[in-house]
Structure formats: structure tokens, C-alpha cells
Amino acid sequence: MARLSEARHFYLKSMKRTLVLLLISLALFSCKTRNTFRTYEMAEQEFRSTLTAHDTLAVLALGANFMDALKYGNLDVELQDLCVLYGDTLYKVSDKSLDMLRDRFTGAPVTDYSLASMSFSTPGNNDLSYRYVMSGTVGSGPAFKLMFNPVKVGENWYLTLKDGSMSSLDKSPTAQVHPHSPAPKPVVLHSK
């Protein structure tokens, strides 16, 4: 009977040690994850601090090339370079989508355009906006708007079209990403 009591005492003592070690491990892990949590605002500040004049020129060149293609009719080359951002992965536009985009853009010829705005947020969420008209020149009158989302992967910029579900500085503050929401994942290129 004494042996059974000693065994029980040893077992309880071992369980207490294991429980204490587990609690200490969890506490250390939670402290570590708290220190590595990054907000959207932090990601924006970090990304913007890495940008140079080269980045601005690269994005402007991508946009101007696409808009010139709309204006002068060389759209196939620019459409081939267009990408789609899905989550945190950048894909080439599918053949079916290329046909739909070609029909959309060739059905409405651009006669003139001007840069409306450009802003940088994160590698996967930026604004590049153009005003364009289908007759005459762009002035202060009515015009259409085309919004791009330039995406940076590594040192390279890729052009995507901005859709209504993406955050943009053009949207109301309540429709934008909250600054304290989690930072986005890094954007990666899809590889087949």
C-alpha cells in the first residue's frame, strides 16, 4: 500500500511539473507572437519607406504604356503583360479573360487620357488612376476612369486592374482597410 501511495505521489508531482512547463511555454510563445504582430499601418509605413524614384517611374511607365495601347490600338502586347492578384498570389490573365478584356477595351476607343492619381500602400495594394475620354480631349468635363493596382514582387512591378473589392484611397474611409487590421501576406508569383 505504501508503494502505491509513493507511486501516486510521484505521478502527481510529475504531472505538476509537466503542467508548469507547459504553462511557461505557452506564456513565452504568446509573448513572442505579440511582438511579431504587424498591422496594416505598419506594413504601409515599411513598404513606403523602401520606395524610390525608380519605383514611381516604373509604375508610371506601366500605366502609360497600357493607356497608350488603348489610345493607339496596340493592346495585345499590354494585355499579355496584365496580371491578376488573387489573395496573395499574382497570376497571368487567363486566355478567356484576355478575350473579354480585349472586347471591352477595343469596343470603347480612347482618344485622350490623363493621370488622375497615384498612391502606394503595400506591395499588393496600390492605386494608379487615369481619366479618359472616347472623343475629344480630357478636360474638366465628364470622363471615364480606369483604375490599376500596381503590384510589387521583389524588385519588379506588375500591372493589375483594380476591382471593387480591393481597398483604395478613392473609397470612403469606412470602406478602406482599417490601419490596425493584420498586415497582408507577401505577394508571390504563381509558378506552373
Q: How much is the pLDDT for 156?
A: 97
Round to whole Å and give the CA distance between 161 and 147.
Answer: 6
- Residue 10's pLDDT band, with cuts at 50, 70 and 90, is low
Q: How much is the pLDDT for 187?
A: 93
pTM of this prediction? 0.78
Q: How much is the pLDDT for 9?
A: 65
DSSP 1: -
Q: How much is the pLDDT for 7?
A: 64
Round to whole Å and give the CA distance between 106 and 109.
Answer: 6
Min mean pLDDT across 27-31, 82-86, 96-100, 180-184 is at 27-31
pLDDT digits (tens, 9 = 90+) for 48-65: 999 999 999 999 999 999
User: What would the DSSP string read from start to end of 79-117?
Assistant: HHH-EEEETTEEEEPPHHHHHHHHHHHHTS--SEEEEEE
- Residue 167's pLDDT band, with cuts at 50, 70 and 90, is confident
**Which long-range contacts (C-beta less than 8 Å, at least 24 apart) are formed by 32-37?**
37/182
